[in-house]
A and B are shown apart, each in its own frame.
Chain A
């Protein structure tokens, strides 16, 4: 369980994390989502006490991280940047961390096996590929058999096999009742693993919701229906929680709140001929872009500047 209250981090003028309130609960995978520069890494660094909050607080299992007698047993963290000495072997790296807590050597061997590093454990970690480096980071995170696991961008730069491995690992850990907190800037990745989402942009909390709710909020699952008599179809479908839109003169309607199947049955019941009936699922990616559009740190521009844009010679970075 991770609880943040009004968590804030300022670097001079810039506010990296702005009064965040959230709770990460055990038993599910919670995705921490936001564009680059949204403050995800800074937040995670504050959770494990590497950075001190400017104001507000964040606790793990009821206490500040540094106040735990065995912090590695509370939170296992994989931070975004490499946190190893390249000259030390994987085994020696893990063993030195284990020694601080009195974690037995047996457990070191166990996490090496768990992450599939047996064959390279005695080699200098500096020579590891990106994927092996991530595995070593995850081995370190699992070392204390922690109740809370926190991973910053764990799938960055991994090959498909590695991505799949991490995905299964995360869902497995959550199924065991652990708190799993994973950051990513890829909505598509989160959609596959996370149940709950905490979305941030420019250090502010944009959404604290479930994946399902996020889709619903962004007008998800609209059904497009084209019929011979849209006006009558409107009347037939109308009901509580059902929203119907359509231009006059067009035979197309957009319906939310009813499944395509229900619409088809109702139309048949009233003898209205349908020409088209399709569910238009809003992708999570779109929902995410919609949510964070104003909070992206740097906008790329794909449109060729037109004449009346040319006069507004403002730098791209200052948009939003």
Chain B
């Protein structure tokens, strides 16, 4: 089709100087992330989950209030933040799954060979993926949380649970909600890279978030209270909860614990990426 003698492009003498840098690797990963349709779709799904389920919960609260169930614990302990951020439980699944896809998807398709041939030092790829996906999930989480709370406070206005942006701790909770999604996303990126399998990564991530808390009930009660609060899911809950219960971590400690989990997963991923054949 085309002539082959010009394959050289520029002549030897004027050879441009290229160099792989961390910044360029981030740029490349950024372009890769946004050039896949699955990224857009899954982010949209996450946004819809957070908003829709939060607003349904707000609406349900007002229905119960109006029906006179004021002593129902579900109604009694409720506050506007907790109600409106209910959808995070579902949004986190979409974000976590997308995180797994960002890394494990490269292994299942074979793209990883191109990626690592371009950046053979390997680790910058993992850091770049964690960085950009963490940033995207943070932004998405903050936007979704503010939107859910903003619209939700309209639904809840006049009720006992009604809160405004100006109330104590509200802004912190909403930003923490974004941080929570970012860290779950990073855990997904790390698990995908560690396990190199989309199915395996999703299974471990969802198992940890959904099944392990349930298994805690098998432990003696005194242990439950001590152990359970350190699970990723519960540590995350305490990050964005407006009020802490007896056996939950403070928001800051919740953040630190979840960061610890993410760091652990990343360390495992980095070890495998560096040590084993691609």
User: Which A residues are closer than 8 A to B by beta carbons?
Assistant: 45, 48-52, 65-66, 68-73, 77, 79, 81-89, 92-93, 95-97, 99-104, 107, 110-111, 113-116, 140, 142, 144-145, 165, 168-169, 172-173, 175-178
Contacts and interface: CB of A to CB of B under 8 A. Distances in A.
A50 B9 contact: no
Nearest to A143: B118
B175 to A, nearest CB: 31
B17 A70 contact: yes
A313 B264 CA distance: 54
Nearest to A45: B277
Given A50-B113, A82-B110, 16 more contacts: A50-B116, A50-B277, A51-B278, A66-B120, A72-B117, A79-B113, A84-B109, A99-B27, A100-B119, A102-B21, A110-B9, A113-B2, A145-B9, A169-B7, A173-B8, A176-B7
B114 A87 contact: no
B201 to A, nearest CB: 16
Given A87-B37, A99-B31, A145 B8 contact: yes
A50 B10 CA distance: 29
Contacts of B37: 87
A89 B2 contact: no
A155 B39 CA distance: 34
B19 interface: yes
Given A99-B24, A116-B2, A176 B8 contact: yes
Contacts of A144: 18
Interface of B: 1-2, 4-10, 12, 15-21, 24-25, 27-29, 31-32, 35-38, 105-106, 109-114, 116-122, 277-278
Contact of B120 (A65, A168, A169, A178): A65
B19 A101 contact: yes
A103 B121 CA distance: 18
A87 B106 CA distance: 11
B117 A99 contact: no
B28 to A, nearest CB: 4
Contacts of B106: 85
Contacts of A169: 4, 7
Which secondary structure characterizes the binding site on chain B?
A: loop
A71 B20 contact: yes
Contacts of A70: 17-20
B43 to A, nearest CB: 15
B111 A84 contact: yes
Nearest to A82: B110
Contacts of B120: 48-49, 65-66, 68, 71
B37 to A, nearest CB: 6
Nearest to B105: A85
Contact of A140 (B16, B17, B21, B114): B114
Contacts of B31: 92, 95-96, 99
Nearest to B2: A116
B117 A69 contact: no
Contact of B38 (A73, A83, A87, A173): A87
18 contacts: A51-B277, A82-B109, A85-B105, A88-B36, A96-B29, A99-B31, A100-B25, A102-B18, A102-B19, A102-B21, A114-B6, A114-B7, A114-B9, A145-B16, A168-B4, A172-B7, A173-B4, A176-B8
A49 B113 CA distance: 10
A165 B19 contact: no
Contacts of B38: 87
B9 A107 contact: yes
B7 A103 contact: no
B7 A173 contact: yes
B121 A77 contact: no
Contacts of A100: 20, 24-25, 27-28, 118-119
A76 B127 CA distance: 25
Contacts of B112: 83
Contacts of B17: 70
Contacts of A66: 120-122
Contacts of B9: 107, 110-111, 114, 142, 145
Which of A83, A100, A110 neighbours the largest number of chain B CB atoms within 10 Å of its CB? Answer: A100
Contact of A88 (B28, B32, B116, B278): B32
Given A85-B109, A100-B20, A172-B4, A48 B32 contact: no
A66 B122 CA distance: 9
Given A71-B118, A114-B7, A145-B9, A85 B111 contact: yes
A103 B17 CA distance: 9
Contacts of A49: 116-117, 120
Contacts of B21: 102
A176 B13 CA distance: 12
Contacts of A65: 120
Contacts of A104: 16
Contacts of A50: 113, 116-117, 277-278
Contacts of A111: 9
Of B7, B16, B111, most buried by chain A (CB within 10 Å of CB) is B7
